Amino acid sequence: MSKLVSFFIILMLILSNQVNVYAAEKPPLEIKSEAAVLVDSETGAILYSKNSNERLYPASLTKIATAIYAIENGNIDDVVTVSARAVKEEGTRVYLVEGERVPLKKLIQGMLINSGNDAAVAIAEHLDGSVELFADKINKYLVEKIGVSNTHFTNPNGLFNENHYTTALDLALITNYAMKNPVFKEIFGTIELEWIGESWETKLLTHHRLLKGEIPVDGITGGKTGFVNESKHTLATTAENENLKLTAIVLKADSSKASYNDTVKLMEYGFSSFKHRIIKQNELFTIHKKEYYSKNDIVVTEHVNTSEESISEQGMLEIVNNGQVSQSIQLEVKEPKPIKVTKEKLLSSEKSSINIFYGIIVFAFAGLLIGVRKRWVKKQ
């Protein structure tokens, strides 16, 4: 008997250990960069996050924000006159000359494709009169239009300033927003462009190695590189296949190679591990006898194996992937249906009320008669 008990105890211990091993999930990726985020460009779901809210220096990824701000707040057919300040801007350039007249769209192309710092300053001065006023306005734009929460820019190109910072998540929000604009998307995905300027004629070639195919990854649709000593290597990349559109941001990688390795890992993980599901319009969710529903069809991004969902007391539906909330959707509360009163029910109710009223009168009159009769009998 004791041997049988011992056998069952050992068996239970083995099974419990197996359950614990299964439940303890390993981190899905080993990312070397200081911060990284992978986001579904369509749903906004966060598929991977490492220090994604840490304030870091973006370097030239700033130019993504400058580009979409210029496209939405300027006229891309405007002709910009290049200033002396723009010409003197340090770092990577497209070699503008003072007084040169360049279309705004061409400056945006030179800024995104060849990372021209001089082009970025020319854009800022054209839009808002000065780099300082530009910084004030783009910061307000990024908060009000895109919804960033940890970003502050002091210039249009990302040259180092200790007050010039953002986060991986904010940059993903900015990039996702920008990619919805067809002009931005076209420029962001340009691999090469003939450049004819007053002092420089060349073929611009994107600096992004995934975009130009030096590192083969299917579906790359756009990208921007960045580097200053203080930021180290930064990289923004967009990609898509028939099922998903993804945005990957990596910040403060120790080397260019590390930034690309991390990005490839993120993209491969995203495309192999996630899928879309549609929550149908009016689909019901219940918590503590309170019902909520989706007002419209809602696309959510789920892990193919480990996705879960939960709903809060306030009707917030949360999609949980790898133990982390990746997407939150506010549902509508379903109000209880009012009781429908038909004409027949109303007439029946009124009739019942009248009958009760007359019944009370009859009982009262009968009681009165009985009382009078008793008094009369006593007198007799």
**140 given a catalytic annotation:** no
Q: Which of 52, 60, 294, 326 is flagged as catalytic?
A: 60
Q: From 130, 120, 74, 66, select the one nearest 93 (Cα to Cα).
A: 120
Q: Which of 50, 63, 245, 265 is flagged as catalytic?
A: 63
**353 given a catalytic annotation:** no
- Cα-based angle 213, 215, 221 (whole degrees, multiple of 5): 50
Task: Check the annotation: does 275 bind a ligand.
Answer: no
Q: CB under 8 Å to 316, separation ≥6 — which residues? A: 328, 329, 330, 331
Q: Which of 49, 52, 83, 115 is flagged as catalytic?
A: 115
**212 given a catalytic annotation:** no
Q: Residue holding tokens 């200081």?
A: 34
Pair 36, 266: CB distance under 8 Å = yes
The backbone torsions φ and ψ at residue 315, rounded to the nearest 5 degrees and listed phi first, read: 85, 25
SS3 assignment for the chain = CHHHHHHHHHHHHHHHHHHHHHHCCCCCCCCCCCEEEEEECCCCCEEEEECCCCCECCHHHHHHHHHHHHHHHCCCCCEEECCHHHHCCCCCCCCCCCCCEEEHHHHHHHHHHCCCHHHHHHHHHHHHCCHHHHHHHHHHHHHHHHCCCCCECCCCCCCCCCCCEECHHHHHHHHHHHHCCHHHHHHHCCCEEEEECCCCEEEEECCCCCCCCCCCCCCEEEEEEEEECCCEEEEEEEEECCCCEEEEEEEEECCHHHHHHHHHHHHHHHHHHEEEEEECCCCEEEECCEEEECCCCEEEEEECCCCEEEECCCCEEEEEECCEEEEEEECEECCCCCCCCCHHHHHHHHHHHHHHHHHHHHHHHHHHHHHHHHHHHHHC
Pair 276, 299: CB distance under 8 Å = yes
Residue 193 bridge partners (DSSP): 204
Binding-site annotation, residues:
224
Point out the residues that are catalytic: 60, 63, 115
Binding-site annotation, residues for substrate:
224
